[in-house]
Amino acid sequence: MTTAINPPAPAAAPKNGKRKRALIILALVVLIAAIAWLLWYFLVARWHEGTDDAYVQGNIVTITPQTQGTVVSIGADDGMKVTAGQVLVQLDPNDARVAYEQAAANLANTVRQVRGLYSAVDANHADIAARRVAVDKAREDVARRSGLVATGAVSAEELAHARDELAAAEAALASSRENLSKNNALVDETTLIDQPQVAAAAAQLRSAYLNLERTAIVAPVDGYVAKRSAQLGQRVQPGVALLTVIPLDQVWVEANFKETQLAQMRIGQPVELHSDLYGKDVRFDGHLVSLGLGTGSAFALLPAQNASGNWIKIVQRVPVRISVDAKQLHDHPLRLGLSMHTDVAIRDQSGPLLAAAPPAKPLLATQAYAKQLAEADARIQKIVRANLPGRG
């Protein structure tokens, strides 16, 4: 009888040991990754809020004429740099110059006429003094003749003539006083420059001078020209857009954060910015300037109507304004509308949610037009002086 010999069992222990070690290593890697992620979240990530829904915004200064006219020259084109006060578009100044010359002549004539009013007042005073002497003399004649009528030295007819002369002298004195009162009403408590007729002529000249100056349309700010639509020979009206000037040193970033990201955001928190134009190699530093006072849909032309049966909740976004470091903007200029990546550090909670006080001074201002009125006043003074006594 033969005995069956069973084959030896396969050695599975070594393979199970390798699998176990691999699983342990994998578990350790997962555990370490989880711990690292938790540490990163609690130490870093939870203090940051970011979004890619952010774009460069800036002031768009539309250049429009303040008076009508025909374009005769254009001083700058798209992409060119301009400075405040530089002439961008020149309108035909001929009509405005004629109106200015007429106003200047009218002011000179008015000054001379008003000088006559002041001279008339002085003449009225002298005339009144002479009339008073005539009245006193006529009154004395009447009194003297009245005493002589009884003695027969003076006839009654001569006394009647004396009384008539006294009445005429008194009437002439009253007329002179009336003329003085009328002339005084025109110049009383005034100097030549603020006399109403001169002031009205000066205002007319000031308006004509401003219209002449406004035929030269200047840039109110430093910046770069964009969207030029002005053409030579074009007849323009006040308010028509001729071109725009973009001050690229005044741009900011408008980031649209989800409403669930705003709880820890405060004004003044630092922001790290990256532009698709320059990539990750260029970093911009900024600060949170303001939190939007409404969602995008709240200010839309056609606001959403949610009172319907098929309403679906959508997380809303709120625009947040972020300033950008001026030196970095100078080194790496940004254009309006560029996409930005924003990362707000929200650890600092000391800032306010809303602005605490109104601005102490205007945020933006221009001096490009400040000299026009001063130059008009200087020309008025020159014309007035040229038409004073003893001047040519």
Q: Which of 162, 159, 160 is nearest to 148 (CA)?
A: 159
Which residues of the chain register pLDDT less than 50?
1, 391-392
Residues 109 and 144 in one domain: yes
In a domain, 327, yes or no: yes
Whole-angstrom distance, CA of residue 105 vs CA of residue 73? 29
Structural domain boundaries enclosing 87 = 62-91+217-245
Residues 178 and 258 in one domain: no
In a domain, 370, yes or no: no
Residues 199 and 135 in one domain: yes
Whole-angstrom distance, CA of residue 205 vs CA of residue 111? 13
Q: Of 212, 229, 260, which residue is a domain's last? A: 212
Residues 199 and 255 in one domain: no
In a domain, 292, yes or no: yes
Residue with tokens 């959403």: 304
In a domain, 42, yes or no: no
The CATH number of residue 237's host domain is: 2.40.50.100
Residues 205 and 112 in one domain: yes
Q: What is the pLDDT of residue 186?
A: 61
- Structural domains of the chain, count: 3
With b for 16 or more beta-carbon neighbours within 10 A and e for fewer, the 61-91 pattern comes to bebebebebebeebbbeeeeebebbbebbbb
Q: What is the pLDDT of residue 43?
A: 74
Neighbours of 55 (CB within 10 A): 14
Q: At what angle do helices 196-213 and 94-149 cross, to 10 degrees?
A: 170
Residues 276 and 169 in one domain: no
Q: Which of 280, 304, 292 is nearest to 256 (CA)?
A: 292
Residues 237 and 326 in one domain: no
Q: What is the pLDDT of residue 183?
A: 62
Q: What string of H, E and C letters represents the secondary structure of 255-309?
A: EEEEHHHCCCCCCCCEEEEEECCCEEEEEEEEEEEEECCCCCHHHCCCCCCCCCC
Question: 342 and 321 in contact (C-beta within 8 Å)?
Answer: no
Residues 263 and 239 in one domain: no
Token reading at 220: 């109110």
Q: What is the pLDDT of residue 59?
A: 95
Residues 199 and 131 in one domain: yes
Whole-angstrom distance, CA of residue 67 vs CA of residue 215? 7
In a domain, 362, yes or no: no
Rounded to whole angstroms, what are the CA distances from 361 to 10, 151, 237, 364? 90, 93, 33, 9
Sequence length of the chain is: 392
In a domain, 86, yes or no: yes
Whole-angstrom distance, CA of residue 253 vs CA of residue 328? 14
Q: What is the pLDDT of residue 392?
A: 43
Question: 249 and 329 in contact (C-beta within 8 Å)?
Answer: yes
Q: What is this structure's pTM?
A: 0.73
Residues 257 and 279 in one domain: yes
Whole-angstrom distance, CA of residue 76 vs CA of residue 284? 31
Question: 220 and 366 in contact (C-beta within 8 Å)?
Answer: yes
Whole-angstrom distance, CA of residue 281 vs CA of residue 331? 13
Residues 183 and 282 in one domain: no
Strands of 87-91's sheet, edge to edge?
216-218, 87-91, 69-74, 235-236
Neighbours of 115 (CB within 10 A): 17
Residues 175 and 222 in one domain: no
Q: Nearest 5°: phi and psi at 331? A: -75, -35
**DSSP annotation of 132:** H
Neighbours of 102 (CB within 10 A): 13
Q: What is the pLDDT of residue 314?
A: 84
